[in-house]
Chain A
Amino acid sequence: MKKAQPWIGLLARLILGGVLLVAGYLKAFTPDKSMMAVRAYEILPIWLANTLGIVLPWLEIGAGLLLIIGVGIRFAALFGSILMVLFIVAIAQAWARGLSIDCGCFGGGGTIDPSQTKYLEEILRDTGLALLGLYLLRYPLTKFALEKNKSHEQTPSQGE
């Protein structure tokens, strides 16, 4: 199990980082749509939703890059996990309030036909991603990470 840990960590990094990078990339260049997706949750005041719609995709790209390259893993993993938990809360409240929206996770978003909502799938997927982030938070020592000296958190015997 000890030996497998860094490999599981690598997998977690690539999945969470890859999803964040792709999700950010798909939205970053269609800001109108992305802003609309955030507004459709009907949680935030409009100006804040619009700002978030523009800025969030770039933050996802940043966190995704850090995870894939393997720098600042714990920070990026924490950011990813918090983000996923926020997404789950947002989707769940939309579901509970009977809104008909697409999560807009990978572009798209906004109000859709009630028959096309996929709240449960979206929540399960984000739960999985949040767990990957938490795993990395607990075990940030992974294979092929650019940043090696974070390992002291796992192996204090090596000394710093």
Chain B
Amino acid sequence: MSSKAPKGSDNVTRNLVIGMVALVVAVGAIFSVISNKENTSAALPSSVSQDDGYGIVFNGDLTGVPVVDIWEDFQCPVCARFEQTNGDYIEKLIEEKKAKVVFHTLSFLGPESSLAANAAACASDENKFLGFHRAFYQNLPAENSGAITTDYLVALGQGVGITSDKFKSCVANLDYKGWVNNVAASGGESNVNSTPTVFVNGKEIRRATSGADLGDYFDPAAFAKAVEGK
């Protein structure tokens, strides 16, 4: 502690540092808040409804049937397990018009989740969302390993019969990036705190409470019962 150090300059340095730190905090926080806001002018894929939390809707015109909202992240291994357990049943619900099903593709696990969600929206424009969705989970790459690229997603699309150039450019140019963010914002508003999260008629189905318990999520019979209410 050199008492000779001019106190004035010490105060200037102090205030300068505090000012800079405050600036970093303010700019970072404000930028984050703005970039997480819903963008109402974002391009929406076909069959997306803003009223359904920007989800991709199947059988949106049906009334008097259960409404199944599925919140997932393409990179989430538990979502892949959910798809393997209940995917056939869910597709059957859609085909036989027994339920309105809404897929919400979140992207909180990382940038590669956003790429996948965008590509799924592109596939939805080609009426191939379900096929893409299934194929993606069957080949789920390791989380954020860099495996999910434009080429990977285009090839996956080709595997389920999407060959148009429009799909390629949609995947490569991230046409639905704004929509992906809107789905994420809507997940926050719906209080979705993990994936998969499934709501039937607005109420979350039963989650497992212990290691041995499968809950409604991973027991096909229990899941069907939760959907059909029987």
Which residues does A use to contact B, with CB under 8 Å?
A: 28, 30-33, 35-36, 39-40, 46, 50-51, 54-55, 58-59, 61-62, 65-66, 69, 71-72, 100-101, 110-115, 146-149, 151, 155, 158
Contacts and interface: CB of A to CB of B under 8 A. Distances in A.
A11 B107 CA distance: 38
Question: Shortest 4 CB-CB distances between A and B: which pairs?
Answer: A32-B108, A111-B194, A62-B25, A58-B29
Contact of A71 (B5, B7, B18, B108): B18
A21 to B, nearest CB: 11
B135 interface: no
A114 B108 contact: no
B194 A72 contact: no
A152 to B, nearest CB: 10
Nearest to A56: B29
Given A71-B18, A114-B209, A31 B36 contact: yes
B206 to A, nearest CB: 13
B161 interface: no
Interface size class of B (residues with CB under 8 A): 35 or more
Contacts of A147: 10, 13-14, 17
B207 A158 contact: no
Contacts of A58: 24-26, 28-29, 32
A39 B1 contact: no
Given A35-B188, A46-B189, A111-B193, A66 B18 contact: yes
B145 interface: no
A148 B32 contact: no
A50 B186 CA distance: 11
Contacts of B2: 148
Nearest to B197: A111
Interface of B: 1-3, 5, 7, 10-11, 13-14, 17-18, 21-22, 24-26, 28-29, 32-33, 35-36, 106-110, 184, 187-189, 191-194, 207-211
A110 B108 CA distance: 11
Contacts of A155: 1
A155 B33 CA distance: 44
B29 A55 contact: yes
A60 B2 CA distance: 31
Nearest to B22: A62
Given A30-B110, A36-B108, A114-B208, 10 more contacts: A40-B193, A51-B33, A54-B29, A55-B33, A58-B25, A58-B29, A65-B24, A71-B18, A100-B209, A101-B193
A120 to B, nearest CB: 18
Nearest to A53: B188
B108 A33 contact: yes
Contacts of B28: 28, 58, 61
A113 to B, nearest CB: 7
B188 A32 contact: yes
A149 B191 contact: no
A149 B10 contact: yes
Contact of A148 (B5, B22, B24): B5
5 contacts: A32-B107, A50-B188, A55-B32, A61-B24, A61-B25
Contacts of A50: 36, 188-189
B33 to A, nearest CB: 5
Contact of B17 (A46, A59, A112, A146): A146
Nearest to A29: B32
